[in-house]
Amino acid sequence: MPSRRSQEQLTELLDPATTVLLTVECQQGVVGPYSALPELAAAARSSGALANVARLVAAAHERGVQVMHAVAESRPDGRGGNHNARLFRAAARLPVQQYTGSTAVRVAPPIEVADEDLVVRRLHGLSPLAGTDVDPLLRNLGCRVLVVTGVSANIAIPNAVFDAVNLGYTAVVPADAIAGVPADYTPAMVRNTLALVATVTTTDAVLGSWKRPHGRAAGLGAATPA
């Protein structure tokens, strides 16, 4: 449980007016029951990460925090997609493909997509930010803090965090709302890599922050994230 001081700092940081909640590849073809990557889907569900993403999205909707869903997809002819790494070549041979317009690229339950949510789709690369509409959309929204959730802790999540930091955003990672494989890799990666560049926290701490008043109404001074 975070200390009172660290919770106050997190509350000040996660101002709904300047925070965006990003879900990464939380789509049916990745974390759903008919996933192309069943081991990853199982990890996302058994760890509680997917349920925690859904809790964060529901709270963001209630609190007025902008939600953005980053979806990875491909064309059936592969046009415009990457072929320059083993991962891409292996993905092209999987029995479930993330084709544009298919069920596989719909956001997976139990995550609810609201009318005000933004869904950003990419046909290339490893990151939801690099070469996509995410960065300009965040800037137009007045975003300063990006809460990164979803999968995988192996590739897309660290890419998203690094890109967010390089672009000048403050990255916040609820460690229990991301998943990767094998299961013990995720906490090691968070501890040894993401904690160096992001504010690492928990789903409950973020939810607690969004239940509390922000800014001057809270009577808090400027704070530095723990």
Residues of the chain with pLDDT under 70: 1, 213-226
Against a cut of 0.75, is the pTM above it? yes
pLDDT of residue 220: 41
Do 98 and 72 meet the contact criterion of CB atoms below 8 Å apart?
Answer: yes
* Nearest-angstrom CA–CA distance, 21 and 209: 13
pLDDT of residue 3: 77
pLDDT of residue 49: 98
Do 68 and 21 meet the contact criterion of CB atoms below 8 Å apart?
Answer: yes
pLDDT of residue 6: 86
pLDDT of residue 214: 63
* Nearest-angstrom CA–CA distance, 97 and 91: 8
pLDDT of residue 225: 42
* Nearest-angstrom CA–CA distance, 67 and 172: 14
pLDDT of residue 1: 61
pLDDT of residue 184: 95
* Nearest-angstrom CA–CA distance, 107 and 93: 22
